[in-house]
């Protein structure tokens, strides 16, 4: 990991220090994704089979997972894993059910009632990666809030292995959360299929889930097309930023950094600390621990573009963190909650020595589908609110219109929208004539 001192860097060097490792929208990537989307739109299921053979090296007969495949997946899984999936689903359900948006109604003036009603998005598409590692936890994070929201049809895509089957744990998690249909598709072609529909895959209204740069780019492209689909957020390669002081345990900090570095070569991890001794100790611990990881080669490539940054105080660490806007923010300090009020941008925050980011990935109950690449400045993680539409309703009585009509008339006239003004003034004239 590269060692830097924040206070010796000029502005250009600071930007470079916090730069993400990959160019998310390089021209070659954009063009490649656009070609895949066009191929799926033009040739549907035929294109999906061709692209699966090319990128996933599997020959797909049926694109959709059958009931028999679900049964076989459940039978093949260890009981301990199935129990853990159910347990995690229960906690995710508890948190998301408690934090879901509520319908509201308020009288803003006598005779003027304004309400907000919630309606689920009818058909949603979930994407569960399985490139370098299958992620059944993502099926839980997306399937549970979709079920709570009451979406009429929940579709899930996940890449097939070379044997033409999806990962058994992903299928079991999908079944546990009540996903309606699962398709053996990955990459940009899966996003295109759910956005535009094919003979096999239904067109979805909104797409959810993380993925590699190709998946993220495909989501961005279909969301910019009126005939495509909305998306949850740009969610790409994983990242973590840790703020730690001299009371933090170096072994814990190193383990948390590596837990993100092992996700993929384009992941990024950053440590901020005012303690030079801690930075030294963590660097040594990272070197020691990475050598024992099964995915050490992947982690080492991610570490090569990661940072150990010295700051002069925890307050400055918070400033730098807000500038970076991390997907995951871990605070391992003497009083971690004391820094919370200063945090403006982060996907999810983990406080204290006993709160590794891993628990949020799996089973604390919060969601792990979070904004990356600095999008935490303006996006939030997935929640039940992501799966519903919030529709406003208003009802005005005659007395209510008498109360607020003149305000409407004045504002409409100021904007030179005469038809707007008349729609109110003619009603006021009728009410005046009845008085």
Neighbours of 366 (CB within 10 A): 22
CA dihedral over 27, 36, 163, 177, signed as positive or negative:
positive
Which residues are within 8 A (CB) of 50 and not within 5 positions of it... i.e. 6 or more apart?
39, 43
| Whether residue 368 lies in the annotated active site | no
Q: Is 328 a catalytic residue?
A: yes
Distances (CA, A) of 433 to 406, 429, 430: 16, 6, 5
Residue 324 marked ligand-binding: no
Beta-carbon-side half-sphere exposure of residue 373 (alpha carbons within 13 Å) = 17
Across-strand partners of 390? 118
Does the annotation list 238 as a binding residue?
A: yes
* Of 69, 96, 239, 328, catalytic: 328
Catalytic residue among 217, 327, 357, 368: 327
Is 341 annotated as ligand-binding? Answer: no
Task: Taking each helix axis as running N to C, give the angle between helix 136-149 and helix 168-177, from 0 to 180 degrees, rounded to the nearest 10.
Answer: 10
First to last CA, the chain: 79
**420 in a known ligand binding site:** yes
Which structure tokens are listed for 20?
Answer: 């993400």
Closest CA to 251 of 368, 332, 337: 332
Question: Is 95 known to sit in a ligand binding site?
Answer: no
Sequence-distant (6+) residues with CB within 8 A of 435 are none
Strand partners of residue 69: none
Nearest CA to 22 out of 346, 270, 258, 268 is that of 268
In the three-class reduction of DSSP (H, G, I as helix; E, B as strand; rest coil), residue 109 is classed as: strand
180 labeled binding residue: no
Active site residues: 327-328
Annotated binding site: 127, 189, 212, 238, 260, 263, 328, 361, 415, 420
Annotated binding site for Zn(2+): 260, 263, 361, 420
Annotated binding site for NAD(+): 127, 189, 212
Annotated binding site for substrate: 238, 260, 263, 328, 361, 415, 420
């Amino acid at each position: 990991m590269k060692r830097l001192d924040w206070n010796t860097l000029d502005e250009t060097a600071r930007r470079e220090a916090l730069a993400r490792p990959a160019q998310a929208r390089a021209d070659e990537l954009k063009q490649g994704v656009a070609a895949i989307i066009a191929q799926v739109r033009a040739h549907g299921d035929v294109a999906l089979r061709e692209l699966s053979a090319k990128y996933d090296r599997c020959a797909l007969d049926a694109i959709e997972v059958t009931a028999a495949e679900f049964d076989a997946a459940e039978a093949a899984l260890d009981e301990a894993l199935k129990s853990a999936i159910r347990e995690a689903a229960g906690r995710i359900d508890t948190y998301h059910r408690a934090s879901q948006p509520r319908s509201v109604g308020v009288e803003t003036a006598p005779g003027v009632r304004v309400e907000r009603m919630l309606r689920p998005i009818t058909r949603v598409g979930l994407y569960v990666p399985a490139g370098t590692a299958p992620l059944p936890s993502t099926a839980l994070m997306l399937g549970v809030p979709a079920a709570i929201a009451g979406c009429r049809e929940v579709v899930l895509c996940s890449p097939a292995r070379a044997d033409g089957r999806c990962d058994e744990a992903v299928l079991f998690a999908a079944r546990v959360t009540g996903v309606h249909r699962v398709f053996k598709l990955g990459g940009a072609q899966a996003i295109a299929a759910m956005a535009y529909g094919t003979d096999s895959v239904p067109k979805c209204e909104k797409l959810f889930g993380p993925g590699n740069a190709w998946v993220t780019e495909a989501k961005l492209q279909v969301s910019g097309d009126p005939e495509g689909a909305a998306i949850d957020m740009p969610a790409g390669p994983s990242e973590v930023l840790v703020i730690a002081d001299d009371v933090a345990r170096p072994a814990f900090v190193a383990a948390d950094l590596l837990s993100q570095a092992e996700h993929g070569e384009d992941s990024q991890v950053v440590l901020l600390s005012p303690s030079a001794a801690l930075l030294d100790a963590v660097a040594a611990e990272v070197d020691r621990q990475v050598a024992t990881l099964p995915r050490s080669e992947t982690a080492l490539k991610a570490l090569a573009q990661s940072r150990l940054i010295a700051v002069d105080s925890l307050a400055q660490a918070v400033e730098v963190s807000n500038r970076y806007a991390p997907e995951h923010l871990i605070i391992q300090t003497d009083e971690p909650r004391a820094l919370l009020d200063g945090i403006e941008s982060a996907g999810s925050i983990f406080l204290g020595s006993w709160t590794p980011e891993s628990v949020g990935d799996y089973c604390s109950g919060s969601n792990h589908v979070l904004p990356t690449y600095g999008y935490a400045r303006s996006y939030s993680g997935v929640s039940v609110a992501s799966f519903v539409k919030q529709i406003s309703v208003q009802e005005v009585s005659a007395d209510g219109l008498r109360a607020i009509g003149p305000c409407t008339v004045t504002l409409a006239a100021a904007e030179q929208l005469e038809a707007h003004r008349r729609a109110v003034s003619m009603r006021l004239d009728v009410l005046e004539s009845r008085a």
